[in-house]
Every structure is written in C-alpha cells, then in structure tokens.
Structure 1
C-alpha cells in the first residue's frame, strides 16, 4: 500500500515515516513538506519520496496522493505564540491547508484520511479530564485553526462519505522535535537548555499541567489505524490521561540527567491553557492495544537524541 504523510519531514511526520518503513504491508511512502519547519535531515536513509511544497498547492497534492491507500495529514504551522504573532498564516496553513488536502483526497478517492488536531481546542473549558464531547473553548488563533481542521474532516465524512479519523494530540514530544527557534515546545526547550547549561525558562509558577505524550505512542496508534483502516464519526483524543506539571517534568529531567537544574520563572504567556488532561476512553475503544510510554522513557530517548545535537555546557 501507498501512504502519504503531509508534514512528513517534520517532527511527528518523520517519526511516522520511520515507523511506516518497518511495516511490510507499506510498499510506498510519500512525504509532502514545504520544509518551513521540517528538515530533509529527518528523512535521511529512509525509503520515502519527498514532494517539496505546500499543502496549499492542489497540483502538488494531486501528484502526491494519486493511488494512495491513506493520507495522514500532519502538515501544519504549530505553536500558540506563533499564531498570536501571525494569526492569518496559522489559518492559511492549518485550516485552508486541511481543506485543500481533503479536496485532493476526495478527487482521488483515497480510502482513508487521518488528520491531526490539538488539545488546545478545549481551551478555557475548565472540565478535566477532557472528554471529546466537551464544548471547545479555544483561546488562541492556533486552537481555532485546529478546531477548523477536525470540523472539516467530520463534515467531509458526512457530506461525501469519506473515511476519516481526526485525532486531538496532547503535548507530543520526542526525538526530532526542534528546539532552536522562538516557538519551540516546552520539552525540547527544557532539554536543550539543560544540556547546554542554561536556565530553564518557565512561564508562570510551573504548577500548570499537561498530558505529555511520547511520539512513539502517537506513531504506534497511527500505524495501527492505517493497517486496520480505522475511522471515527467524531474526533478522538490521542493521549492517556496523565497530568504532569512543569515542575514535575523538570524534576524527572533532573533524574534523567543526574543533576539539579536552574529554573527561572516569568509571566504566563497569552493563549496558554492552565491544565490539560485527556479522557482516553474513546481511544481505548478504537485502539485497545495502544500503549503509553512512561515519561521517563520518553525523556531518556529525547535526551539521548538531543545530546548529539546540542552543544554541551562547559
């Protein structure tokens, strides 16, 4: 089978390509990526054909998705702060980009499309854990664009009979996640600072919580979904219901590194959600074999990968 991964040179996408390359049933892998946040280095030595360009380009998508058994749409412009700085770019890349991908899938009759949304769509809704039926209350342009992503997928399933599977990702982390830019996620930012001997910058008091999800869990579920052609009439949380504060994350990182870390606190960031935790009931129903990697294992793998790429502290 042929599998297309948009955003395939990015963090989650390249990890998924690696996982798909180990599956005998997958005979062809195509990545679509404009390399604005991804990197060709992430795909070195992998059996993948890269279409370099934007998911907003219908001609490129026509060439890439023709004959595909599944399209996994991970291409997006991530980061809440980035969306606050430039909301229109986030909308075009995430909302319009998803619509363009869905149209390509429809034109070519692709049997399955998987799309990535975000836990940020829950936003200001105070209820924990986050059940998919909760009212979305997005508090950032990024969250709005991701809500549009999943809503378009569900609408296309209803209107056109397409087989869709929309996931809400929760704070995914792991190897190949960039740390060297202003909008880096918290785990690579903390690991990079720790390895280079810089203080860890915490926005707020550090007691805010997240349902950190190791990228291996995400790729395992997606590969299973592709092989079994799983679909769902509504969105599915892809996380395991474990709340971890930033202070607990730092403590775990100190254990992995075997030394204390300096922490500097600053004001909370606009658009950040205070607490996040998934209800995993729907995930467990669809993917009963899904496994959560312990935070320690995920951090160890992340530190090992970043240690070869981050200048060590002197």
Structure 2
C-alpha cells in the first residue's frame, strides 16, 4: 500500500500503533485517539511528516471534515473490556455502536474506498462448535460482544445499501509488545508478566483449564493491511487456529521468567467463556497466513519487552 490517505481510529493504541508504524513511511496517516489507553510513545516517530494526529474522542469531532480525501479507514477505537461493558452497558453501546454508525455514514458521504473494522471473538459467546467458523450465529455473553456483533451487521447493511466496502476482523486473543499492563482489566499475558516482575501472585479466574487461541499483534497488523488491500467483503477470524489452556500458558511464562511463583485461583468471571478456537480458512480471502509455530518465540519476545520497560 503506497501513497494513500489513511485514517486510523484508536491509532495510538496497542494494535492501532502497530498498523500506523507499518504504513506511515509510504502513506499519509491521520490518527484519531483520545489517549484513554493509547500513547504517543507507541509510534516510532510521533513527529513524522506523514502524520496528522487528532487528540479527541470520535464522538466530539466532525467526522465529515476529517474523512475528506481519505481512501481507507481502520476502525479500532472502542470500549474493549468485557468487565467494563458489563458494569456500564449504556456507555459500551454508545462508544462502540453509535460512534461506528456515525463513522460509517461519514465514510459513505466521503466516498471512502474501504473500512476495516476491529471486531472480536466475543461475538461467538460460549459457542461449543469449535473450531469456530465465521458462519456461526453470534451469541455474545456480554454487552461488549453484543456491540461488536451489532457493528458487523451495520457494516454489512452499509455495504448492501450504499456500496461501502468492508472487512470485519474477529480478533481472538491478541498479545504482543505495547499491550497495556497497568489496566485493571489487563489481558492475561501482560497481567501474568507484570505480576511476576513485581514478585506478586498472578490471578487465574476459574480452574485455568479454559483455553484460548492466541495471535501475535504483528500478525494482526498485517491482517488489517491485507484485508484493506483485498476485494473481500465479509468477516475473517484472526487467530492462530490452535488452543492453549491458561494453565499451560502460565507454565511457559513462569519458565521464561525463571520464577517459582504460583498463581492464585479465583472464581470465574461473568461473561468469560470456557473454550475458544478459530477456524482460520477465511484468511485465504485476504491472502494471509499466520505461522502459529512461532507462538512461543513471539511470547518470549513479548515477555522480554515487558522486562525492558519495567
């Protein structure tokens, strides 16, 4: 992708900053981010001549002005926490659904070529038809999952009604450098690493035998770019296509950090699912392959990044 005008909502965040760093040398990048979780330091060059940074919330700006002349949109800005969505479903709906509809409307009015939407495996809920295919009916168990499923329907409807091209990427468990370790709702890997580095017991909710399908953030950034360049309109699972239990994951982290600290087990959280694994056949539609054999290598790379910033 070269010489394009690109908008990234949430472009200072964990995934958005990786996309921006990959594209900024050969494209004009506009980032909209309210810095609620993102950081300017996540960009390799925050002063790059190809960068326009709008430090505002999506709901407080005139999207028609900001999308004028934009070719592609990567939409990552959202409330991303299942627990927070359960605590405040009204805000979740507004931040995830209403702002997305406003963005889609602005995309249509400004003749945007394509939007790539960051969805989530949370739309599947506790579906036992593993590996999960994109054709499964959504069955979310949290307001967060419901909001992502709703946005996917809006994307399809805008494609059918107005011809807006889109790809919705259903992320499974993303990990990698720049993931927020300080959030009280931090993802499992940064939570484990951060607690161990502070010589504290990490927490595992439930018995630890729940399984997840992890995918490295570099692969997720590549998936966004590949989806944008493709002609595919629809939904694609973004995952490694395999399962690992939380107990197994902790064992790898523990071994890598050379610690004897054992985790503390607490009751399962409302909205959490037991098992998750993606069918990744649709990756072919966006011409992407994910090498899951590099999982441990990427995990060690991630752990070392957290050690460096400690």
Cα pair distance change 1:261/1:44, threshold 3 Å: same
Distance 1:288 1:299 in 2: 21
Aligned to 1:182: 184
Aligned to 2:221: 219
Aligned to 1:53: 56
Q: RMSD between aligned alpha carbons?
A: 1.6
Distance 1:55 1:297 in 2: 36
Aligned to 1:246: 246
Residue 90 of structure 1: how far off its partner (Å): 1.0
| 1:6 matched to 2:22 | no
Distance 2:111 2:42 in 1: 30
In the alignment, structure 2 segments of 5+ residues that lack a partner are none
Aligned to 2:234: 234
Residue 63 of structure 1: how far off its partner (Å): 3.1
Distance 1:169 1:21 in 2: 23
Contact 1:237 1:280 in 2 (8 A): yes
Distance 1:78 1:193 in 2: 22
Distance 2:305 2:65 in 1: 34
Distance 2:60 2:104 in 1: 12
Provide TM-score, normalisation by structure 1. 0.92
Distance 1:289 1:129 in 2: 17
| 1:79 matched to 2:81 | yes
Q: Deviations over 1:257-309 (max 9, x none)?
A: 23333211000000001111000011134324444472212222222221133
Cα pair distance change 1:67/1:211, threshold 3 Å: same
Give the alignment partner of residue 134 of structure 1, picking from 133, 136, 156.
136
Distance 2:184 2:199 in 1: 18
Moved >3 Å (runs of 4+): 288-293
Give the alignment partner of residue 171 of structure 2, picking from 169, 172, 180.
169
Paired residue secondary structure (1:235) = strand
In the alignment, structure 1 segments of 5+ residues that lack a partner are none
Q: Deviations over 1:160-206 (max 9, x none)?
A: 11111111000111111111121111111111112221111000000
Distance 1:152 1:80 in 2: 21
Aligned to 2:41: 41
Instruction: Out of 158-167 and 37-46, give the one that drifted further.
Output: 37-46
Paired residue secondary structure (2:225) = helix
Give the alignment partner of residue 102 of structure 1, picking from 104, 109, 132.
104
Aligned to 1:200: 202
Q: How many residues align?
A: 304
Aligned to 1:296: 296
Provide TM-score, normalisation by structure 2. 0.93
Contact 1:116 1:150 in 2 (8 A): no
Contact 1:221 1:290 in 2 (8 A): no
